[in-house]
Structure 1
Amino acid sequence: MTDTNDADERDSNGTDRRLVAGWQGRYYEDFTVGDVYKHPYGRTVTETDNVWFTNVTMNANPMHFNEAYAAETEFGERLVDGTFVIALAVGMSVVDVSANATANLGYDEVRHHAPVFHGDTLFAESEVLDKRESDSRDHVGIVTTELRAYNQHDEKVLSLERTPMVLKREHAAPSAARPTGWPEGVGTQPEDLE
């Protein structure tokens, strides 16, 4: 995707140099009920992920950090902390669903369908369930998606509904020179290509 303000210049080798906008994320207008976004990149869950997250969140269930205890359970090994699975799946969806969100309004219908183990690789997708204009804010709309995560065996391990407020494009004004999250004037600017 290029910006109408992209700047062009020919360098000393005769190559055109341009400042080109990258992926800006979806804005409210880009969502259509029924669309499914398969989020890029799977992510393998490591023992370190699980132990650190369990300790940081003070989750004292020995299923997550005590191998001897977990070996005696029906699973025979430690399970990955379910709230880590939620955080990872939501994080994987940000690039497609909420890169331009101003707030997350809620997480509903959270279900763990299968356990996640160290070494499992998770993949996530989101389906647009609903969208509507905000009653109180003109610059955003409200989008509800179902987020689903699967392991490498195509077993669904998680599902939840997620509802962010997402900026409308006219209020975001992204550009190649100043993409989302960049302060004004940082990095290559159009005048640098003149």
Structure 2
Amino acid sequence: MTITESWQGRFYEDFGIGEIYQHPLGRTITETDNSWFTLLTMNTNQAHFNAQVGASSEFGRMLVVSPLTIAIAIGQSVVDTTQNAFANLGMDDLRLTAPVFAGDTLWSESIVLDKRESGSRPGAGIVTIRTRTLNQDAVEVLTFRRTFYVHKRDAAGAVSHFPQAATPLQLEQL
């Protein structure tokens, strides 16, 4: 029986300064996404949920609430950057550089700016990346720097939590 190891994300040792990760999943934002996130976060600015207010704005339509754009960008980056992280330490230089509307598809990419060993946690390191998010027209809509703690490959916190079945999965079981 051979178990093919799944992608587990990068550990501290896997990051290289200057490396660029183009995160593989694009995300189209719907009006429902925008309305629900606006309600969830209690944002009362009607530009995000009132079509009449949006139509009368300089943009001519409702805007996507910016914390949703930020959350999607961070989420898109996890597979390549923070799958093995255990704490975000900061977000800096956040810029919303163009409006986002329902129907836009967002794509994000990150570049590694810095990395260093942790002085207080021997099983971890600290990595800083810059992420930018583009819409379907390749227009940058968001950029920010993020710093996080990430496990080293052999750290206790880096072990898989996948449960081991009493009976291994086998082709003959089908």
The TM-score, its normalising length taken from structure 2, stands at 0.92
Structure 1 residues 188 and 93 mapped into 2: Cα distance closer, same or farther (>3 Å)? farther
Question: Contact 2:151/2:157 (CA < 8 Å) preserved in 1?
Answer: no
Give the superposition deviation at 1:171: 1.0
Structure 1 residues 40 and 61 mapped into 2: Cα distance closer, same or farther (>3 Å)? same
- Report % sequence identity: 51
The amino acid that maps onto 1:110 is L
Equivalent-residue separation in structure 1 for 2:77 and 2:166 (angstroms)? 27
Equivalent-residue separation in structure 1 for 2:126 and 2:108 (angstroms)? 21
How many residue pairs get aligned? The number is: 171
Question: Contact 1:19/1:188 (CA < 8 Å) preserved in 2?
Answer: no
Equivalent-residue separation in structure 2 for 1:154 and 1:36 (angstroms)? 17
Give the superposition deviation at 1:23: 0.3
Q: Name the structure 2 match of 1:32.
A: 16
Q: Name the structure 2 match of 1:160.
A: 144
Q: Name the structure 1 match of 2:109.
A: 125
Give the superposition deviation at 1:180: 3.7
The amino acid that maps onto 2:5 is A
The amino acid that maps onto 2:31 is E
The TM-score, its normalising length taken from structure 1, stands at 0.83
- Whose radius of gyration is greater, 1 or 2? 1
The amino acid that maps onto 2:151 is L
Structure 1 residues 188 and 38 mapped into 2: Cα distance closer, same or farther (>3 Å)? farther
Give the superposition deviation at 1:173: 8.2
Equivalent-residue separation in structure 1 for 2:131 and 2:29 (angstroms)? 18
Q: Secondary structure at the match of 1:79?
A: coil
Q: Name the structure 2 match of 1:185.
A: 164
Q: Name the structure 2 match of 1:116.
A: 100
Matches within 5 A, 1:2-81: 8=1, 18-81=2-65
Question: Contact 2:95/2:143 (CA < 8 Å) preserved in 1?
Answer: yes
**What is the aligned-residue RMSD (CA, Å)?**
1.9
The amino acid that maps onto 2:14 is D
**Deviation string for 1:72-121 (max 9, x for gaps)?**
11000000000000000000000000000011111111100000000000
Q: Name the structure 2 match of 1:13.
A: none
The amino acid that maps onto 1:65 is F
Give the superposition deviation at 1:135: 1.2
